[in-house]
Chains A and B, each alone.
Chain A
Amino acid sequence: MADKVLTEDDVVAELRSGMTIGIGGWASRRKPMSIIRAIARSSLTDLTIVAYGGADIGLLAATGQLSRAVYGFVSLDSIVLDPHFRAARQAGAIIDEPFDEGLLMLGLQAAAWRVPYLPTRAGLGTDLLELNPRLTTIQGNPYGSPDEIFVAAPALELDAAICHLDRADERGNACFLGPDLFFDDMFLRAATGHRYISVEQVIPTRDLLEEAGTEQRLRVSRMMVDGVVERPGGAHFTECPPDYGRDEAFQREYAASAASPEAWQAFRRSWIDIDEDEYQKRVAVR
């Protein structure tokens, strides 16, 4: 039986510079922050991040490891825009590949289904097609008008996918306990390998269904997962209900650290350049 239990550093050791990495969650909700922090401490560079973005894109923009953002938004929810992302964009420091939120979902779905694209109208009549060179249109409805135009949502094949869920067993069967799975299952299915989840708690398979409360929450199965990291608080400072809400005070500190290089260095020394055990200890006594 495959042993899939890893640490954050084990995960990072499997990743390579230049990879396209999909990150689950949505804005400042259930982001795999302990693995993002481990990436931020690593020598990985030139990363393409595909996400419904929040501090994942923001933090890796701040460290300079992000070279390309594929996203519909980069928001911290209670703070509309991640200021680190804003700073990187206004400095012209990253390649920007804007997507419509739904178009991004179709791209992940296309990759998961192994088709090159899925048709949609989202993007027609806007500047998406001009500003994102990855996007193109197709002409002709084979069942209707030869003149009809669609946007071809391109398959967003991922080199790696990383998500944070609530519970999992050692083999990678996992459940979400909050209100929304978001698109975590699609991210995991869109990746050709390197599919990692962090979870609040690893439990026996026998207990998964009871913990989930209903089989409809068992939405990630072990065929979708290559490695499991057990990390209570792993999504901090983003929310991970019902285990914990967003740490708004911490998030404000993170956002404020975009104000100057000095502020960022101070935040980085206190909260990034320490190992994850130490991070969780410091959070607990804040």
Chain B
Amino acid sequence: MTDSRTASLPDICAVALAECFRGDGEIVANPIGPLPVIGGRLARATFAPDLMMTDGGALLIADDAAFEWTEGPTVEAYNPYRSMFEVCWGGRRHVVMGAVQLDAHGNQNLAAVGSDYARPTTQFVGFRGAPGNTINHATSYWIPNHSTRVFVETVDVVTGVGWHAFADDDAAGRLVDLRRVVTNLCVLDWDSPDRRLRLRSLHPGVTVDQVVAATGFELVVPDDVPITRLPTAAELDLLEVIDPTGVRANQVRQ
């Protein structure tokens, strides 16, 4: 039931980000960044109505189909940062983070690039909440610039836990729940025997070779790779309601 309108790449990415939350139920969906937030709102407005989402601050809001609210948000709960840590440590959260670097097993770097941590080549924002997030609840990633600079063999600093950090029966390891990576080229997951990143779907017009060339480690590539699901007509309509000013257009490297 795809629409005769041509879905843009940001639209396709927004739907792929929304799909990350399918089946999550009554948890805090915490996508970080404009396009992941649009994807989260789209998921809640359609197939994941039980998700809870923040206003970007201390409130959980009930409004679905809008990026901003002209008459103010409909508050459904108070969730200041210390409550968010409790949500996080209780496991009732699914975060979509970015990454400066990401390796095949899902180790994430958000802090610094360079061989000497005491004097990095490039300092980034810091560990933020990545260690606590990745050891407590579902985590997905949004990478708007799929390249060998991001997808590296070894990250310089591990800020977010990867799959291979713990033995299978480890009490902490059992809480690791890395889900998906959505990029401007494709959707990836760790549904492979040794938990290496696997090509889950290709965005329309993208080839396997393109993805492989833009990835700095050996990717698991199934024999048949489907095309990423296209937005439905209803989803395209909703994207216009959620993001009427077109914020999403500038969020993806085309």
Which A residues have a C-beta under 8 Å from some C-beta of B? Answer: 26, 53, 71-75, 80-81, 85-86, 89-92, 96, 98-103, 105, 120-128, 131, 141, 145, 148-149, 179-183
The verdict on B72 contacting chain A, using a C-beta distance below 8 Å, is no
Which residues from chain B contact A122 at a C-beta distance below 8 Å?
Answer: 89, 131-132, 135-136
For A105, the chain B residues whose CB sits under 8 A away are 82, 85
Binding site for A on B (CB under 8 A): 57-59, 80-82, 85, 88-89, 111-112, 116-132, 134-136, 157-162, 165-166, 171-173, 175-176
Across the interface, do B124 and A126 meet the contact criterion of CB distance under 8 Å? no
Minimum Cβ distance to chain A for residue B126 (Å): 4
CA distance A131 to B171 in the complex (A): 24
How far apart are the CA atoms of A80 and B98 in the complex, in Å? Answer: 12
Closest to B83 in A: A180
Are B85 and A89 within 8 A (Cβ)?
Answer: no
For A186, give the chain B residue with the smallest CB separation. B82
- Assess the B123–A89 pair: CB atoms within 8 A: yes
**Contact A102–B89 (Cβ < 8 Å):** yes
A148 to B176, CA, bound (A): 15
Nearest CB of A to B29, in Å: 19
Q: How far is the CB of A4 from chain B (nearest CB, A)?
A: 27
Partner of B161 from the list A53, A74, A103, A126 (CB cut-off 8 Å) is: A126
Query: B127 near A80 (CB under 8 angstroms)?
Result: no
In the bound assembly, the distance between CA atoms of A86 and B159 in angstroms comes to 17
Closest to A122 in B: B132
State whether A102 and B129 are in contact (beta carbons under 8 Å apart), knowing that A180-B57, A180-B58 are contacts in the complex. yes
Question: Which residues of A sit under 8 angstroms from B172, Cβ to Cβ?
Answer: 121, 124-125, 148-149
A127 to B101 CA separation, bound complex (whole angstroms): 14
Interface on chain B toward A: helix, strand, loop, or mixed SS? loop
Considering the complex, give the chain A residue whose CB is closest to the CB of B156: A127
A148-B171 in contact given A74-B126, A105-B82 (Cβ < 8 Å) = yes
Q: In the bound complex, what is the Cα–Cα distance between A199 and B158 (angstroms)? A: 39
A120 and B118 CA atoms in complex are apart in Å by 26
Contact call B122/A128, Cβ cutoff below 8 A:
no
Please measure, in the bound complex, the distance between the C-alpha atom of A126 and the C-alpha atom of B132, giving whole angstroms: 10
How far, in Å, is A175 (CB) from chain B's closest CB?
Answer: 15
What are 14 A-B contacts with C-beta separation under 8 Å?
Answer: A73-B125, A80-B125, A100-B127, A100-B130, A102-B85, A120-B89, A123-B132, A124-B135, A124-B161, A125-B135, A125-B173, A126-B161, A179-B57, A183-B81
Q: How far is the CB of B55 from chain A (nearest CB, A)?
A: 9
Instruction: List chain B residues, Cβ under 8 A from A74.
Output: 125-126
The distance from the CB of A214 to the nearest CB of chain B, in whole angstroms, is: 12
Nearest 9 CB-CB pairings of A with B: A125-B165, A92-B119, A122-B132, A125-B161, A89-B123, A179-B58, A73-B126, A100-B131, A180-B58
- When distances are taken between beta carbons in the complex, the residues of chain A under 8 Å from B136 are 121-122
Shortest Cβ distance from residue B95 to the other chain A in the assembled complex, whole angstroms? 12
Shortest C-beta distance, B141 to chain A (Å), equals 15
